[in-house]
Amino acid sequence: MTWLIMGSVVAGVALGYWVIPEVFIIHLDNLTTAALCVLLLGVGIDLGQQKEAWVRLWKMGWRVLLVPIMVGLGSLVGSVIVGLAMGMPVNEASAIGAGFGWYSLSGVLLAKIYSVELGALAFITNVARELMAILLIPVIAKYVGKYSAVAPGGATTMDTTLPIISKSTDADTAVVAFINGSVLSAFVPILVPLLIRL
């Protein structure tokens, strides 16, 4: 899946550089809007079908929600602080941070509703976050804490980084990670467009 996503971007770059005339790319706007709507409808159906995650959340108690709240808050604060240090506007830095590691969705959302440059930066930033998560989860689980090991993965803790968390921690933390990923994933398509308009 990761290779398919990367391959699509690389193929697109090659097509844009060598094959497709720029005039044609500009006129793709209606088609990309339709594709985005289809994608978001699919994301919504996917989230709506995940009743299991909400049942698990109910069983574990409301305090477990503190994990996605802190991960979300930390992602936004960290991105804004680093962004400001690099001279980036708050809305751009926070919208990138609100991708929570979901690079494909945050990248295409920002490319469509704001600018292709920021979409590309969101894509690379969130790819970097996932790679960092893969490397850091076992280390954080060992030296910092089990719940803290859930933090680097962001929204990816319900799929791609879940096996690593499960292996590095225990069954309870894996459930918390799944809930964390589900909650943050639900907020990516809401927060990214909201924050970019600040």
Partner 1 sequence: MTLILVFLIAGFLIGHFKLIPVSYKLTQRVMLFGLIFLLMVMGAQLGANEKVLADFGHMGLQAVALAAGGVTFSVLLVKMVEGFIKKAQGESQNASELTGGNEKVGEDN
Structure tokens at 141: 């689980």
Report the C-alpha gap between 106 and 148 in whole angstroms. 24
* Residue 110 contacts residue 118 (beta carbons within 8 Å): yes
Residue 144 touches partner 1, criterion: CB under 8 A? yes
- Contacts with partner 1 by CB under 8 A: the residue count is 98
Report the C-alpha gap between 189 and 98 in whole angstroms. 9
Q: Per-residue string for binding with partner 1, 18-57, x by CB under 8 A?
A: x-x-x--x--x--xxx-xxxxxxxxxxxxxxx-x------
Residue 17 touches partner 1, criterion: CB under 8 A? yes
Residue 165 touches partner 1, criterion: CB under 8 A? no
Task: Please pick, from the candidates 2, 55, 58, 66, the single residue that binds partner 1 as defined by CB under 8 A.
Answer: 66
* Residue 188 contacts residue 105 (beta carbons within 8 Å): yes
Task: Please pick, from the candidates 57, 102, 106, 136, the single residue that binds partner 1 as defined by CB under 8 A.
Answer: 136
Q: Which string of DSSP letters, residue by residue, matches 14-72?
A: HIIIIIS-HHHHHTTHHHHHHHHHHHHHHHHHHHHH-HHHHHHHHHH-GGGGHHHHHHH
Task: Please pick, from the candidates 4, 27, 30, 171, the single residue that binds partner 1 as defined by CB under 8 A.
Answer: 4
Report the C-alpha gap between 167 and 98 in whole angstroms. 27
Residue 60 touches partner 1, criterion: CB under 8 A? yes
Distances (CA, A) of 169 to 25, 86, 143, 194: 47, 35, 12, 34
Residue 75 touches partner 1, criterion: CB under 8 A? yes
Of 73 and 163, CB closest to partner 1: 73
Residue 132 touches partner 1, criterion: CB under 8 A? yes
Nearest approach in angstroms of CB 163 to partner 1 is 19
List binders of partner 1 among 88-127 (CB under 8 A).
88, 93, 96-97, 104-105, 107-109, 111-113, 116-117, 119-121, 123-127
Residue 193 touches partner 1, criterion: CB under 8 A? yes
